[in-house]
Amino acid sequence: MSQLTSLSTIQQALRDGSTTMVDVVQSYINRTKETDHLNIYVEVFEEEAFAKAKALDEKLEKDPSSVGQLFGAVASIKDVLCYKDHKLTAASNILGSFTAQFTATAVQRILDEDAIIIGRTNCDEFAMGSTNEHTRYGPTLNGLDESRVPGGSSGAAAVSVERDTCLIGVGSDTGGSVRQPAAFCGIYGMKPTYGRISRYGLIAYGSSFDQIGLLTKDIDTMSVALSIMSGSDPMDATCLNVEAPGLASADQESKYKIAYIPEVMNHPGLKPEIKMGCEETLEKLKKQGHSCEAIEFDLLSYLVPTYYVLTTAEASSNLSRYDGIRYGHRADDVKDLEELYERSRSEGFGTEVKRRIMMGTFVLSVGYFDAYFTKAQQVRTLIIKRLTEVFSEYDFIVLPTTTDIAWPSGEMIKDPISMYLADVYTVLANLGGYPAISIPKSSDNLAMPYGVQVMSDKCTEEKLLSFAKQL
Active site residues: 78, 153, 177
Q: Is the dihedral of CA 111, 151, 91, 147 positive or negative?
A: positive
Q: Which C-beta is closer to ligand GLN: that of 53 or that of 412?
A: 412
Q: Per-residue x/- marks for ligand GLN, 86-125, CB under 6 A?
A: ----------------------------------------
| Residue 431 C-beta: closest distance to ligand GLN, Å | 12
Q: Burial, 413: exposed, middle or buried (Cβ in 10 Å; 0-12, 13-18, 19+)? A: middle
> Is the separation of the CB atoms in 273 and 443 below 8 Å?
yes
Q: How far is CA 380 from CA 204, 293, 305, 373, 432, in A?
A: 20, 24, 10, 10, 8
Judge contact between 256 and 467, C-beta under 8 A: yes
Is 205 a binder of ligand GLN (CB under 6 A)? yes
* Contact pattern from residue 154 through residue 183 relative to ligand GLN, giving x for each residue in contact according to CB under 6 A and a dash for the rest: ------------------xxxxxx------
CA angle 453, 169, 391 (to 5 degrees): 30
8 A C-beta contact, residue 260 and residue 286:
no
Residue nearer to ligand GLN on the CB measure, 177 or 409: 177
**Between residues 128 and 459, which has the closer beta carbon with respect to ligand GLN?**
128
- Please give the DSSP secondary-structure letter assigned to residue 130: S
Told to check if 328 binds ligand GLN by CB under 6 A, we report no
Which amino acid is located at 264 in the chain? V
- Does residue 153 have a cis bond before it (omega within 30 degrees)? yes
Which x/- pattern, by CB under 6 A, does the window 295-314 give for ligand GLN? ----------------x---
User: Which residue number is nearest to ligand GLN in terms of Cβ?
Assistant: 177
Query: In this complex, which beta carbon is closest to ligand GLN, that of residue 233 or of residue 423?
Result: 423
Minimum Å gap between C-beta 226 and ligand GLN is 18
- The residue among 264 and 422 lying less far from ligand GLN, judged by its C-beta, is 422
Instruction: Provide, rounded to whole angstroms, the least separation between the CB of residue 127 and ligand GLN.
Output: 4
72 versus 150: smaller Cβ distance to ligand GLN = 150
Of 133, 188, 159, 176, the C-alpha closest to 6 is 188
Q: What are phi and psi of 337, to 5 degrees?
A: -65, -40
Cα(first)–Cα(last) distance of the chain, in Å?
A: 26
Q: Considering only residues 413-432, where is the footprint of ligand GLN by CB under 6 A?
A: 423
Q: Among residue numbers 120 through 149, which ones bind ligand GLN (CB under 6 A)? A: 127-130
Smallest separation (angstroms) from ligand GLN to the CB of 424 = 11
Closest to 214 measured CA to CA, from 168, 150, 159: 168
Residues in region 13-52 near ligand GLN by CB under 6 A: none
In whole angstroms, give the CA distance from residue 48 to residue 188. 28
- Shortest distance, CB of residue 311 to ligand GLN, whole angstroms? 6
Q: How many residues bind ligand GLN (CB under 6 A)?
A: 14
**Beta carbon of residue 52, minimum distance to ligand GLN (angstroms, whole number):** 29
Residues forming the site for ligand GLN (CB under 6 A): 127-130, 153, 172-177, 205, 311, 423
